[in-house]
């Protein structure tokens, strides 16, 4: 089976592509730059030179020779700049969906995000109990819009599945660079004490979910996928930071204080139309300062998803 992958040179793509190849899949992956193409080639995949936001005949030709699509590329920067969020997360996804369907793709797997569901706190939430409204923050909002398009495109001959991972972790995760820098500079604070539960998923477990989704006959469904346990924010990130040789300490910041400044900075950034990252955003408080836990029982029951690595094993890998 041949899979066309987007986001192949990113953290998720670089972690999942080798696992897919080990499981017998042939991978063609989108590459926007020579650097990305080199990374993809070094993993044993075939780079397809193109831009996700302006897909050309290169992609259409590649899709004709593939069976499945894994769409993991996304814009997830913590800013208030709407243009890129909609251009990459919504418009590009809809275009790839259309081209995939037109060129004979059998199954389209979309890497969504657990925060596409509205509300806070989120406590052991299942798919059937999730609200239907869009979340407020740009990243989960645009991911939710794209997910709705993906699921609506499902037919008997073009199956679509959306996987909703919460906080993804594992080796070489550049998304945690800011966290590491704040700890190094002594700026890290545990919002609300850090005792609230945060669902997570190791990137190897996400790869297991992707393979389960490809093998399943299901379509038109969204699935939360997690590491399968319940851990606090403090336990999770203390272990990850310790593996990096860092001590986050025990300094705390009351949740209401953090939320006040998040909304204050958000107002300033919106009024001034700033495109940089503010020091803190309400989305960060929603995910790091409030319980955000989801149940993946539906994925285990319907897709046969199983996590292949537990938290302790994942931390050991970080240390090695």
The domain tally of the chain equals 1
* Percent of residues, the chain, with pLDDT higher than 90: 88
State the residue for tokens 């990137």: 203
For residue 238, the model assigns a pLDDT of 97
* 39 touches 14 (CB < 8 A): yes
For residue 279, the model assigns a pLDDT of 86
* Residues contacting residue 182 through CB under 8 Å, at least 6 positions apart: 188
Q: Give the C-alpha separation, 41 to 236, whole Å.
A: 33
For residue 54, the model assigns a pLDDT of 97
DSSP β-bridge partners for residue 27: 3
* Residues contacting residue 219 through CB under 8 Å, at least 6 positions apart: 107, 154, 155, 156, 159, 160, 161
For residue 128, the model assigns a pLDDT of 97
Range of 205's domain?
2-166+200-226+294-309
Whether 177 maps to a domain, the answer reads: no
Whether 106 maps to a domain, the answer reads: yes
* Residues contacting residue 295 through CB under 8 Å, at least 6 positions apart: 124, 125, 126, 224, 226
Helices (H), 125-199: 138-152, 177-184
Helices 233-243 and 311-319 meet at what angle, rounded to 10?
30
Q: Where are the beta strands (DSSP E) in the chain?
A: 2-6, 26-31, 46-49, 68-71, 107-111, 122-125, 159-164, 167-169, 190-191, 200-202, 221-224, 252-253, 292-294
Q: Residue 80 — φ and ψ, nearest 5°?
A: -110, 20
141-188 tens-digit pLDDT: 999 999 999 999 999 999 999 999 999 999 989 888 888 999 999 999
Distances (CA, A) of 130 to 14, 25, 32, 115, 120: 31, 33, 36, 10, 11
Q: Where are the beta strands (DSSP E) in 11-105?
A: 26-31, 46-49, 68-71
Mean pLDDT over 98-126 rounds to 97
State the residue for tokens 């909609």: 86
Mean pLDDT over 223-235 rounds to 97
Task: Identify the weakest region by mean pLDDT among 170-174, 215-219, 237-241.
Answer: 170-174
**Residue 231 burial by CB count (10 A; 0-12/13-18/19+): exposed, middle or buried?**
middle
State the residue for tokens 């030179």: 49
For residue 148, the model assigns a pLDDT of 98
* Percent of residues, the chain, with pLDDT higher than 70: 100
Whether 70 maps to a domain, the answer reads: yes
Q: Give the C-alpha separation, 208 to 154, whole Å.
A: 22
Q: Residue 32 — φ and ψ, nearest 5°?
A: -85, -25
For residue 121, say if its preceding peptide bond is cis, omega within 30 degrees of 0.
yes
Q: Which two tokens stand for residue 117?
A: 């569901």
For residue 8, the model assigns a pLDDT of 93
- In this model, does residue 78 exceed pLDDT 90? no
State the residue for tokens 């949740």: 255
293-310 tens-digit pLDDT: 999 999 999 999 999 999
Whether 33 maps to a domain, the answer reads: yes
Whether 260 maps to a domain, the answer reads: no
Whether 80 maps to a domain, the answer reads: yes
| Among 281, 278, 277, 236, CA closest to 258 | 281
Mean pLDDT over 13-32 rounds to 96
* Residues contacting residue 118 through CB under 8 Å, at least 6 positions apart: 130, 131, 133, 134, 135, 136
**Residue 26 burial by CB count (10 A; 0-12/13-18/19+): exposed, middle or buried?**
middle
For residue 304, the model assigns a pLDDT of 98
CATH of the domain at 109: 3.40.50.720
Residue 136 pLDDT level (bands cut at 50, 70, 90): very high
């Amino acid at each position: 089976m041949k899979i066309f992958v987007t986001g192949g040179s990113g953290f998720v793509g670089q972690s999942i592509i080798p696992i897919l190849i080990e499981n017998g899949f042939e991978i063609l992956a989108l590459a926007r730059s020579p650097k990305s193409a080199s990374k993809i080639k070094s993993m044993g995949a075939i780079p397809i030179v193109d831009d996700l936001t302006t897909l050309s005949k290169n992609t259409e030709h590649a899709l004709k020779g593939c069976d499945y699509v894994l769409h993991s590329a996304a814009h997830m920067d913590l800013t208030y700049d709407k243009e890129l969020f909609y251009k990459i997360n919504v418009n590009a996804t809809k275009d790839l969906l259309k081209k995939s369907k037109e060129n004979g793709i059998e199954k389209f797997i979309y890497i969504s995000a657990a925060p596409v569901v509205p509300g806070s706190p989120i406590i052991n939430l299942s798919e059937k109990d999730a609200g239907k409204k869009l979340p407020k923050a740009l990243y989960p909002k645009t991911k939710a819009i794209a997910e709705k398009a993906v699921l609506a495109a499902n037919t008997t001959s073009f199956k679509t599945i959306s996987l909703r991972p919460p906080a993804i972790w594992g080796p070489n995760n550049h998304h945690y660079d800011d966290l590491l820098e704040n700890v190094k500079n002594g700026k890290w604070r545990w919002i609300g004490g850090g005792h609230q539960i945060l669902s997570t998923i190791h990137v190897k477990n996400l790869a297991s979910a992707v393979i389960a989704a490809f093998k399943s006959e299901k379509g038109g469904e969204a699935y939360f996928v997690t590491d399968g346990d319940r851990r606090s924010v403090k336990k999770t990130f203390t272990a990850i930071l310790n593996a990096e040789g860092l001590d986050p300490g025990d300094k705390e910041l009351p949740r209401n204080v953090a939320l006040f400044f998040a909304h204050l900075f958000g107002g300033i950034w919106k009024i001034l139309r700033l495109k940089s990252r503010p020091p803190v955003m309400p989305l960060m408080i929603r995910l790091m300062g409030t319980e955000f836990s989801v149940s993946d029982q539906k994925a285990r029951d319907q897709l046969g998803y199983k996590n292949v690595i537990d938290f302790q094993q994942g931390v050991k890998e970080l240390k090695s």
